[in-house]
Amino acid sequence: MMTTVSPSAVPSHLDDVLDSVRRRSPGEVVFQQAVEEVLHTLGPVLDRHPEYADARILERLCEPERQIMFRVPWVDDRGRIQVNRGYRVEFSSALGPYKGGLRFHPTVDLSVIKFLGFEQIFKNALTGQGIGAGKGGADFDPAGRSDAEVMRFCQSFITELYRHLGEHTDVPAGDIGVGGREIGYMFGQYKRIVNRHEAGVLTGKGVGWGGSQGRTEATGYGTVFFARDMLATRGQDLTGRTVVVSGSGNVAIYAIEQAHRLGAKVVACSDSAGHVVDPDGIDVALLREIKEVRRERLSAYAAERPSAEHHAFGSVYDVPCDVVLPCATQNELGEDHAGALIRNGVLAVAEGANMPCTPGAVARFREAGVLFGPGKAANAGGVATSALEMSQNAARAAWSRDEVTDRLESIMSDIHAHSRATAEAYTGDPDDYVAGAAIAGFIRVADAMLAQGIV
């Protein structure tokens, strides 16, 4: 379900910015939604800091510094020529080199990439790691493709994109459809073309050749850390809590793992063909085997787990729980889902995916007093750990898993505290993490842009 905030919800003095975005990016509905949600929070900031409006910071932030679209031709295993479209949108370099993942999925288009890149501006700023914002990908679907086909696609993709990358310019990582296999193929082709082993040009690499311990788990772990910190503000924790996770990919798997470690029980997760309910708690080892090794549907999990039931219809959000971690894709959790969760007594929602909750759902959660952690803050652990990988690459060092996880936990706690303090300072409501995260990230980028002049 696609929902947008009504124009009247945006402060009147920001209407011109939103109108400009709609005019200059017609049909890019998801991108417009992302911009509108941020603008909805920034009125108090511009009231206190008219210098941001005078310098047209928002107008500049809403227009990417560079947009790249290109053809990706490749040959499948039957010898047939295939053609996909590739993208890289480099939004902001005010705080450092462009940083953000690559998504390979049939739903990828310019609107999706711009939405993701725009969100990345604020998320990356919140980490305090000195990284700018970008996003990219292609409308290629790796599902069902052989390793050889994926390799040929990745090599063709990076053969065009490489000229725009560099450890001090633009450093992509993985996203949906892009894991260690795809990063490996792209890095190998990049190295072949430039004749340099620039380990810092891509993150999410294998640990044996420049990758970081803990990077694979970081987004999921970080989301759970953020949920834990939200609950702590009300004197609660995750021990004994029932949790529902949407998705069953990388973020979802490691969110489930960390939730279990902190004493919660995850009783349901989902994929595009339905969801499973497991009252005994999701078996992470079996889930990883099904999804990451065998690349099968969750029905296979239920077939091998006596305590689990697979549901091809209905929603994972109908399962009663205390905490929800949406970890699949944008706009997956709508108002009706939010209503069901509220009726079932949900306490907290932390977004492991990018903008998985529609504006209407967010409003329902906020009205009901449910703690809500937006993706800008709650899923920032992945890019934060990517920045830690960049640091290790620059120093030609390798940190232990415990050291990386400790740093991740500290970063997530800082993001939580900073978002909460900013929300209280600008809205008077420390629980308004939506405003707090957006405002905190915006101020960091805006101040850098002011210092660097009109560029």
In Å, how far are 137, 238, 398 from 225, measured between CA atoms?
Answer: 28, 10, 24
In 68-195, which ranges are continuous DSSP H helix?
A: 110-127, 147-161, 180-194
Using CA atoms, how far residue 186 sits from 74, 108, 163, 340, in Å, is 14, 19, 13, 43
- For 228: left if phi > 0, alpha if psi spans -120 to 50, otherwise beta; the answer is alpha
- C-alpha to C-alpha distance for 59 and 53, rounded to whole angstroms: 9
Long-range contacts of 425-434 (CB under 8 A, 24+ apart): 426/44, 426/45, 426/48, 427/44, 430/233, 431/233, 431/371, 432/366, 433/230, 433/371, 433/372, 433/373, 433/374, 433/377, 434/37, 434/41, 434/362, 434/366, 434/372, 434/374
Cβ-based burial of 246 (10 A; exposed 0-12, middle 13-18, buried ≥19) = buried
Q: What is the CA radius of gyration of the chain?
A: 21
Report which residue type is found at 85: R
- Residue 143, both tokens: 């599902």
Instruction: Say which DSSP state 166 is in.
Output: B
Instruction: Identify any residues that bridge with 88 across adjacent strands, giving them in sequence order.
Output: 68, 136
Residue 423, Cβ density class (10 Å: 0-12 exposed, 13-18 middle, ≥19 buried) = buried
Identify whether 114 is a catalytic site residue.
Answer: no
CA dihedral angle for residue 42, residue 43, residue 47, residue 51, rounded to 10 degrees: 40
Catalytically annotated residue among 99, 114, 135, 265: 135
Q: Which residues are catalytic?
A: 135
